[in-house]
Amino acid sequence: MKATYDSDGDRVTVTEDARQQLYDASGYGEPLDGDAVALMPVEAAYLLRKGKLEDVDGDGYSGFLRHAVEDEAVLRVYADLRDRGYYLSVSDDEELYLYARGDHPANSSPETRVEAVDEDAAVEIGKLPSLLAVADDDGDVTYFSVEEEKPDGGYTPLDADVSVVAEEHGRGVGVSDSDALREARYGSTVGDDGEDAGDETLLLSPVEAAYLAKSGVLDPPDTDVDVDARRLAVYTDLRDRGVCPRTGFKFGADFRVYETPDDEHAALLVSAVEQDVRPSVVEVSRAVRLAHGVRKRMVFALVGDEKVEYVAVERERP
Amino acid sequence: MKATYDSDGDRVTVTEDARQQLYDASGYGEPLDGDAVALMPVEAAYLLRKGKLEDVDGDGYSGFLRHAVEDEAVLRVYADLRDRGYYLSVSDDEELYLYARGDHPANSSPETRVEAVDEDAAVEIGKLPSLLAVADDDGDVTYFSVEEEKPDGGYTPLDADVSVVAEEHGRGVGVSDSDALREARYGSTVGDDGEDAGDETLLLSPVEAAYLAKSGVLDPPDTDVDVDARRLAVYTDLRDRGVCPRTGFKFGADFRVYETPDDEHAALLVSAVEQDVRPSVVEVSRAVRLAHGVRKRMVFALVGDEKVEYVAVERERP
C-alpha cells in the first residue's frame, strides 16, 4: 500500500488494496472513491508503528509523529484499545469513538466517546463521556467507567410528629435520645461505654443537626452550627432519596452511604463537589482506587444551583 | 471529693482526698498545697462524664461542657486516650501532651504533644507533632503517627560519560535506548509489544527528561518539556538520595519510590506539596488509607525554597 499526505495535510490517503485490507477487514479510516482509504493521523501513526504502513511520503513512525500527531495521549489510548481488539473512529479534532466489541464501523455506531488524557491532565467530571482513559508515565493506560448514579434506598422519612429537645454540643447538637432518630441512623453516642454518664444524649453532627433543624425535628428549631452549604445540599438530597449518609472521614470522602437499614456496609462513598469541578486525574485515580479497595463505589455529587447530580467512577478493564 | 471553679474560672479545684485519688493514683491535674488538686476543664469534664466527680459548683457534665470546654475534639481525644490507659497533661490553651504507656506525670516528661482536631479541620503537615488525632462525626477517634522520613536507597548515580541522543516525543523526550538508563529505571517503552516497531526508543516522562537534561545526560542538552517545579524539585532530591521515583498515578500520588534496584515493589508513595501546605484531615485520611491498602508508606514531600523535607504519616493504633 502507498500512503501520502492529502492535499490539506490533515489526513493520509492510502491506495493500492487499501479499502479491502484497511477498511473492510480492519475498520481503519474512511473509504474514498475506488480502492482508496483516508486515515486520520492517529490511525496512520498506529499502522506505521505496527509496520502495516511502511512510510507516509517517506516519513517513518518518528518523523510522522512529529509532523502529524498533536496529542500523544490520544495515540497511546487508540493503540491500547486497538491492541485489545476494538474498532475506533477518530474525529477531525482527534477525539476517539469506541465501538462495542465486535462492531465494525461500516455497519454500526460508536458506543461511546473516549476521553483520552495524560496523567497530568484535569477533567471536568460532569462532562466526561462514559469512558475516561489516562496514559501514564509508565507507558500504561488506565480506564475509568463514568456513569450517572441515582442513589435510591429503603430508609423511610421520619414521622411528622418526631420532635427532640436540642442543645448546642461542641460543633454539633445534643438531643434527647430518640428511637426514631436511632433507627434512621442519625447521630452517635460519644463515650457511651456503659459507665454512668449521667445523661442519655444522642450527638448530631453539624450536617445532621442542620438537616433536622430544616426538617422541623429540633426543639428549639434553630441551630447555630457551621455547615458547608455543598455538604448540606448533598446530605439533604441523599436523605430525600431514602439513603443514609454517614461521615466518610475514614475513607477520605464526605459521606459513606447506606442504602437500606439492613445494610451492614455502606455501598457508596460520596464526595460533594461543585458542578463544574475539574479535579486532576491523579485525584480521581486516588478516590476511585481507595473506594475499590474497600469495596464501595466512588460517587462524585455535583452540586448545581438547582439540583444535585451523581456520577459514579470506577476502574474499568476493557 | 468537692469540686469548685477556681477564682479565675480557668480551672477546677478539687479538695477532700483529691491528691491521693486523682493525682497520685491516676495522674489527673496538678497538686496544690495540702490535699487539693487543680484540674484543667478537659480533665474535670472527663471525670464528670465518668462519674468520678459529681458536679462542679452544681454543674453536671452537660452544664460544665457548655461553660468550660472550648474545643470538644480535645475532650474526645483526651477521653479516648485516657480510656486506653494513657496519662495526659493539658496545657492552659487546651493542648494535650501524652506520656508513654506506664509513665506517670509525677516522675516523667510527656512523649509528645497530640494534635486533636475535628474531621472538618485542616492541618499544617510541617508543624504537626508526632501524633495527630481526629475526632470524627461517628464519635470515633482516628490516630496518625507523623514522623520525619529520610529516603535513602541503593541506586547509584549514572556514570559521568552517559549521554543519549534525545528528541521531543509527545509531552516527554524519546532517547536512544541505553542500558545505563534502563538499569537506573528511567523511561518506559510504549507499545513495545514485540512487533516490528521500526525503532528502539526509550520514552522519558517530562520530569525524567528535565532531570536528565539538568544532569547533562541528554544530547542536545536542552529540552522543551513542561514540568511542575515542585515535582521536579522532589524528583531531583529523591534521585540524589539514591532512590528511584516513578509515576504514582495509579495510587493517586506524584511518585511511587523504589529503594533499591532489587525491589519489586515500591516502598513509598510521595506527594510533592508546598512547605506550608494545609490539607484537610479528610485528604490526609484518604492518602494514608490508600497507601496502607497497597502496603506502602505515605510520605508528604514538603518543598521549601532551599530544601525538601519528608514527613511520613501512618495510621496508628495507640
- Is residue A38 within 8 Å of A13, Cβ to Cβ? yes
Averaged pLDDT score across all residues of chain B: 92
> Which chain B residues are within 8 Å of A251, Cβ to Cβ?
285-286, 289
According to the model, what pLDDT value does residue B43 have? 96
Question: What is the pLDDT averaged over residues B155-164?
Answer: 92
Contact residues, chain B, for A134 at CB < 8 Å? 249
Distance of residue A262 Cα from the nearest chain B Cα, in angstroms = 18
Residue B197's pLDDT is what?
A: 44
What B52-60 contacts at long range (C-beta under 8 Å, 24+ apart), as own/partner pairs, is B53/B1, B53/B3, B53/B14, B54/B3, B55/B3, B56/B3, B56/B4, B56/B5, B56/B12, B57/B3, B57/B4, B57/B5, B60/A198, B60/A199
DSSP chain B: -EEEE-TTSSSEEEESSHIIIIIITT--SEE-STT-EEE-HHHHHHHHHTTSS--BTTB-HHHHHHHH-S-HHHHHHHHHHHHTT--EEE-TTS-EEEPPTT--GGG---SEEEEEEETT-B--GGG--SEEEEE-TTS-EEEEEEEEE-----PPPPPTT--EEEEEETTEEEEE--HHHHHTT--B-TT-SSS--SS-EEEEPHHHHHHHHHTT-EESS-------HHHHHHHHHHHHTT-EEEE-GGGTSSEEEESSTT-SS--EEEEEEETT---BHHHHHHHHHHHHHTT-EEEEEEE-SS-EEEEEEEEE--
Q: Give the per-residue pLDDT at B225.
A: 87
Rounded distance between C-alpha atoms, residue B164 and residue B223, angstroms: 13
Shortest distance between the Cα of A33 and any Cα of chain B, in A, equals 31
**A2-108 against A111-148+242-318: fold identical:** yes
Strands annotated E in chain A: 2-5, 12-15, 30-31, 37-39, 88-90, 96-98, 112-118, 131-135, 141-149, 164-169, 172-176, 201-204, 218-219, 244-247, 255-258, 268-274, 297-303, 308-316
Per-residue pLDDT reduced to its tens digit, A137-165: 999 999 999 999 999 999 999 998 999 99
Strand pairing category for B308-316 and A218-219: unpaired
Banded pLDDT at A191 (limits 50, 70, 90): low
CB contact under 8 A, B199 and A289: no
Q: Is the pLDDT of residue B128 over 80?
A: yes
Q: Which grid cell is A58?
A: 517517506
Residue A192 above 70 pLDDT?
no
Residue A104 pLDDT grade (very low, low, confident, very high; cuts 50, 70, 90):
very high
The CATH classification number of A156-227 equals 3.40.1170
Do residues A268 and A151 touch, judged by C-beta distance below 8 A? yes
Planar angle of CA B56, B58, B64, nearest 5 degrees = 55
pLDDT confidence bin for A35, thresholds 50/70/90: very high
The per-residue pLDDT for range B258-276, each reduced to its tens digit, is 999 999 999 999 999 999 9
Q: Which of A45-59, A66-80, A98-112 has the weakest average pLDDT?
A: A66-80
pLDDT band at B65 (very low <50, low <70, confident <90, very high): confident
Q: Residue B198 and residue A48: Cβ atoms within 8 Å?
A: yes
Chain A residues whose CB is inside 8 A of the B76 CB are 190-191
Q: Determine the Cα–Cα distance for residues B256 and B310; give it in Å rounded to an integer.
A: 14
Asked whether residue A71 carries a pLDDT value surpassing 90, the answer given is: no
- Distance of residue B33 Cα from the nearest chain A Cα, in angstroms: 31
Which residues on chain A are in Cβ contact (under 8 Å) with B190? 76, 139
A136 vs B174, B189, B250: nearest CB? B250
Residue of A nearest to B81 (CA): A191
Name residue A143's beta-bridge partners.
A133, A316
Architecture category of domain A111-148+242-318 in CATH:
3-Layer(aba) Sandwich (3.40)
CA distance B69 to chain A (A): 9
Which of the two residues, B107 and B223, has the higher pLDDT score?
B107
- Grid cell in block for residue B100: 508513654
Question: Which residues does B222 contact at the CB level (< 8 Å), separation at least 6?
Answer: B213
Give the residue on B whose Cα is nearest the Cα of A72.
B170
What CATH number has the domain spanning A2-108? 3.40.1350.150
C-alpha cell at A200: 442519655
A146 in Cβ contact with A129 (< 8 Å): yes
ipTM: 0.91
Closest alpha carbon to A308 in A245, A235, A234:
A234
Instruction: Please say if the pLDDT value at position B194 is more than 50.
Output: no
- Contact call for residues A115 and A126 (beta carbons, < 8 A): no
Whose cell is 501524652? That residue is B98
Q: Which one of A176, A249, A269 makes the best mutation probe of the B interface by having the most chain B beta carbons within 10 Å? A: A249
The mean-pLDDT minimum among A32-41, A62-71, B142-151 falls in A62-71
Contact between A50 and B195 using a beta-carbon 8 Å cutoff: yes
pLDDT at B195 over 70: no
Query: What average pLDDT does this structure show over B49-78?
Result: 89
- Pair B78, B88: CB distance under 8 Å: yes
Choose from A290, A294, A298, A313 for mutation: most chain B CBs within 10 A: A290
What residues does A62 pair with on adjacent strands?
Answer: none
Q: Hey, is A46 helix, strand or coil?
A: helix
What are the residues whose beta carbons fall under 8 Å from the beta carbon of A8, sequence distance 6 or more? none
A22, A15 contact by CB (below 8 A)? no
pLDDT surpassing 50 at residue B45: yes
Average pLDDT over residues A214-225: 88
C-alpha cell at B157: 548515580
* Per-residue confidence (pLDDT) for residue B224, from 0 to 100: 80
Q: What count of CB pairs under 8 Å joins A to B?
A: 184
Residue of A189, A198, A290 lying closest to B61 (CB–CB): A198
Q: How far apart, in whole angstroms, are the C-alpha atoms of residue A71 and residue A189?
A: 55
B305 phi/psi in degrees, rounded to 5: -65, -35
* Record: contact B252-A65, CB cut-off 8 A: no
User: A49 vs B197: CB contact, 8 Å cut-off?
Assistant: yes
What is the H or E stretch that residue A293 is in?
helix A281-293
Chain A residues touching residue B197 (CB < 8 angstroms): 49, 51, 61
Task: Answer yes or no: do A197 and B49 touch at CB < 8 A.
Answer: yes
Q: Over range B132-161, report the average pLDDT.
A: 95
Average confidence (pLDDT) over B145-168: 93
The CATH superfamily assigned to B2-87 is tRNA intron endonuclease, N-terminal domain (3.40.1170.20)
Inter-CA distances, A4 with A50, A53, A60, A64, B257, Å: 17, 11, 12, 11, 45
Contact A250 B286 (CB under 8 A): no
**Extents of the domains making up chain A:** 2-108, 111-148+242-318, 156-227
From chain A, the residues in CB contact with B168 under 8 A are 66
Picking from A77, A146, A89, A74, the residue whose alpha carbon sits closest to that of residue A298 is A146
A144 three-class SS? strand
For the segment A243-273, what is each residue's pLDDT rounded down to a tens digit?
999 999 999 999 999 999 999 999 999 999 9
In B, which residues are within 8 Å of A199 by CB distance?
A: 60-62
> Does pLDDT of B192 surpass 70?
no
Tell me if residue B265 is catalytic. yes
